[in-house]
Structure 1
Amino acid sequence: MMKSLQRILYVGLLVVTSAVMADTIALRDDHPNVYYVKKGDTLWDISGRFLENPWQWPELWHDNPDIDNPHLIYPGDEIRLFWQDGEPRLTVNRDNVKRTKLSDGTVKLTPRVREVDRDSAIPAIPMSAIQSYLKDALVMDRDEILAAPYLIGGQDRRVVFGMGDTVYARDPEDRFADLQRRYGIYRVGEEYVDPETQEVLGYEARRIGLASVRDQEEDMTTLEVIRSSEDVRVDDRLFQQPDREVRAVLYPHAPDEKITGNIIRFFDRINSVARNDVVVINKGEREGMEPGHVLEIFQQGELVRDRQQDEMVRLPRTKAGTLVLFRVHEKVSYGLIMESTRPIYMQDIVESPEGSY
């Protein structure tokens, strides 16, 4: 009896271990053994050539002592798959050897120093898809918005302004105590509401222009609109310009715990979004979210009638894609959709990848 029980426990352990390993090391059937990094690559794309789940890159990473920082990868680097102790590993090789073919047919190898600019390292995700959201969108609470300086008018008694126009802003609360040289002009728009609890999670403040300070007297400031993407209007708010550049240091990884949320906003689309679109979810810093977190996207199964049992039942949910968070606020986060197998809709479910918690 004891041996049978031990055998059951042993087999069970193997099954569990195999399941965990399957989640941890899921190589693509058509994976290459070697890949040479090209300009325009992203870490996600390269990982996707080797792995079923590209965000699992760090779990297969093998440090190369010849590379100061192996997580900074550059065009021309060689990504190689090899096996160590029965497990797959990925490593980067940076060729610092010059090859010269001599007249007798032999090849002379000469070590050389290869200088690379850190800013030329390939990014983890496509920066071009998210830079405008890093610079042009804020999420504020009601008190922050009410306390911000606001436009009260401009030249020629107009209420709509553009590049080159003079405008006037007022700050009755702080009287421009910390006056900046430039301000972003923001328009308050979307109210973010949690679909489950109906809690107001914040308000979207979208940058529509940039203004330079020309003069200041008490609580009134004179500014010139030096850039605008649309009409600037009375009551638009002024906010300081944050430095929100994200470079190659952002690496996708799974949350430590199971997180479940919903997509509550997308941009420049009416009905659905797909790969390389940006969405907002109803989870943020207070739920432990951080830049680089990977979440899978699911769609709730359709509610159908079981005619045999004469009752309504819900079909199983379906995975629709994967996203990576790149900007996290207290109660909401911005994410870039990295993969989509079907159109993604408002209220779709986001969840920590299976096997990661």
Structure 2
Amino acid sequence: MMKSLRRILCLGVLCLGMGSIASAVVADTVQLRDGHPDVYYVKKGDTLWDISARFLENPWQWPELWHDNPQIDNPHLIYPGDEIRLSWADGEPRLTVRRDGNSRTELADGTVKLTPRARELDRDSAIPAIPMNAIQSYLKEALVVSRDEIRDAPYLVGGQDRRVVYGMGDTVYARDPDDQFENAPPRFGIYRVGEEYVDPETDEVLGYEARQIGLATITAHDEDMVTMKVVRSSEDVRVDDRLFPQPDRLVRAVLYPHAPAEKTTGHIIRFFDRINSVARNDVVVINKGERDGMEPGHVLDIFQQGELVRDRQRDEMVRLPRSRSGTLVLFRVYEKVSYGLIMESVRPIYMKDIVESPEGSY
């Protein structure tokens, strides 16, 4: 039996990278999923979203059922082997975590075998909020740039042997009129500027997609010309490709799904590697960004616009009601656009579908 709880609370969102806490007052109905477990043992490969979905109709509401536990200082940092338990206090559901030094293995008959072991926990071993393998390349390699950034970026002017295309191991030459290579890291990403992002409502150009096609390191510097060696390429490197600094580290998303503080409405404006529609675990771009209050971790519901049909009785065109088709979580936010991962899809999701703050969260 689905149980509902209407509460008003202050939801704190921890931003590890900035070391700050943002809070928002949320009035919402928390619904437990039919058939939810009372106890769940966290396994390697789990995500916070999927675990939450075992208990809740809306997985992003995870913190609203959290019960303060002196042993666990952050409900977003959950580790394999933790025991998550749903209990009731004063008629209200709450979630708690039990953490000890035992490794748990669930046997075929449903019993749980405990094996004592030492546990050393760090943030990197915590389960991620959303599937990292679906977004890692977009975190590390995708860029959205302005026309001015394209114009001012260093660019390739040629290479050895008078060829027109280059690849891994080749020597290429780049020009840097604005001295951006000076005191810069030795490794640069090679990017090809492509898709123009345009707002479907205002026709404003929101930015340009810069797709990384390779990596190069600087081997020599002569005034505004640099010599570089291509150390990696996913496709042919060409003259006029742009160069942007490339951090030499593994990028890991640190985000916690939560609703925007205010109502937000936008549209999906870009697919990747899909033609007609997308679904769960696909990445999309929306026409909202930092200037609209978006931040990594924001959850948005997706709606299909109702079909435009003719009312034959009155001889006029009317639009049918929209229908919810899924949910996405933003993981990369730029000034005017954001990248989001589709976490749930109940039907195909199409270009220009509406994205909106979850109902009841504003």
Residue of 38, 50, 55 corresponding to 1:50 = 55
Q: 1:280 to 1:244 in 2, by over 3 A?
A: farther
Shift of 1:111: 9.6
Pairing partner for 1:240 from 207, 232, 245 = 245
Structure 1, unaligned runs of 5 or more: 1-15, 100-108
Q: Is the 8 A contact 1:25 1:88 kept in 2?
A: no
For the residue of structure 2 that corresponds to 1:143, the secondary structure is helix
- Alpha-carbon distance in 2 for matches of 1:52, 1:77: 22
Q: 1:148 to 1:244 in 2, by over 3 A?
A: farther
Query: Which stretches of structure 1, 4 residues or more, deviate above 3 A after TM superposition?
Result: 16-23, 96-99, 109-113
Higher relative helix content: 1
Rounded Cα–Cα distance in structure 1 between residues aligned with 2:285 and 2:301 = 14
SS at match of 1:130: helix
**Structure 2 vs 1, CA of residues 147 and 110 (structure 1 numbering), >3 Å: closer, same or farther?**
closer
Taking the aligned partners of 1:110 and 1:259, their CA distance within structure 2 comes to 48
Could you tell me the TM-score, scaled by structure 1's length? 0.88
Letter in 2 for 1:295: L
Distance 1:97 1:221, change over 3 A: closer
Residue 188 of structure 1 contacts residue 203 of structure 1 at CA under 8 Å; is this kept in 2?
A: yes
Q: Give the counterpart letter for 1:57 in structure 2.
A: W
Two-structure CA RMSD over aligned residues (Å): 2.5
**Which string of whole-angstrom CA distances, capped at 9 and with x for unpartnered residues, describes residues 180-235 of structure 1?**
21100000001101000111100111100000111010000000000000000000
User: Is 2:64 the partner of 1:64?
Assistant: no
Equivalent residues of 1:124, 1:252 under 8 A apart: yes
Task: Rate the CA distance shift 1:225–1:313 in 2: closer, same or farther, 3 A.
Answer: same
Query: Residue 355 of structure 2: which of 336, 350, 355 is its match?
Result: 350
Cα distance in 1 for residues equivalent to 2:61 and 2:76 = 13
1:268 correspondence with 2:273? yes
Among 200, 203, 209, the residue aligned to 2:208: 203
What is the rounded CA distance, in whole Å, between the counterparts of 1:319 and 1:98 in structure 2? 41
Q: Percent identity?
A: 80
Say if 1:44 and 1:55, in contact at 8 Å, map to a contact too.
Answer: yes
The equivalent residue for 1:216 is 221
Q: In 2 relative to 1, CA 18–240 (structure 1 residues): closer, same or farther, beyond 3 Å?
A: closer
Which string of whole-angstrom CA distances, capped at 9 and with x for unpartnered residues, describes residues 214-271 of structure 1?
1010000000000000000000000001467234x41100000000000000100011
Query: For 1:305 and 1:332, how far apart are their aligned partners in 2?
Result: 35
* d(CA) in 1 for partners of 2:41, 2:115: 21
Identify, as 1 or 2, the structure richer in strand: 2
Give the alignment partner of residue 147 of structure 1, picking from 141, 148, 152. Answer: 152
Larger Rg: 1
Between the aligned partners of 2:310 and 2:90, the Cα distance in structure 1 is 52
Which stretches in structure 2 are left out of the alignment for 5+ residues? Answer: 10-25, 105-113
1:67 to partner: Cα distance: 2.3
CA-CA distance at 1:98 after TM superposition: 9.4
